[in-house]
Amino acid sequence: MVKKENVIHLERQASMILQISDKAREETTRCQFSFQCLDDEKKCICIIERCFEGDGCFLMTVKPQPCPYKMSFGYAFMCHCPTRIELFNRYKI
């Protein structure tokens, strides 16, 4: 049986408002998706595997949409989007 407080916690988590710093928003000058990842984290274009301080993030899954922040790195792809990186570091999504 699911406890009521667990359900409330999950509902709050599902409707969480994602926020980023003004600096990250200002640095994200080439976003073609109108900051869609801030509205719903499930709509983020790519799933991040891990991030490296100052070097970007390796992507676990890559959607076919073109993105100016997605770069090929051998057989893998990296993300250099300031907003996406901050979302990963702040919320682990």
pTM of the complete model beyond 0.85? no
Query: Is the CB of residue 81 less than 8 Å from the CB of residue 37?
Result: no
Report the candidate in 66, 46, 68, 67 with the shortest Cα–Cα distance to residue 58. Answer: 46
- Count of domains forming the chain: 1
Q: Which long-range contacts (CB under 8 A, 24 or more apart) does 70-74 make?
A: 70/45, 70/46
Structure tokens at 22: 């003004």
pLDDT for position 92: 87
pLDDT for position 9: 38
> Which residue numbers in the chain have pLDDT < 50?
1-13
Domain of 80 in residue numbering reads as 4-91
pLDDT for position 86: 93
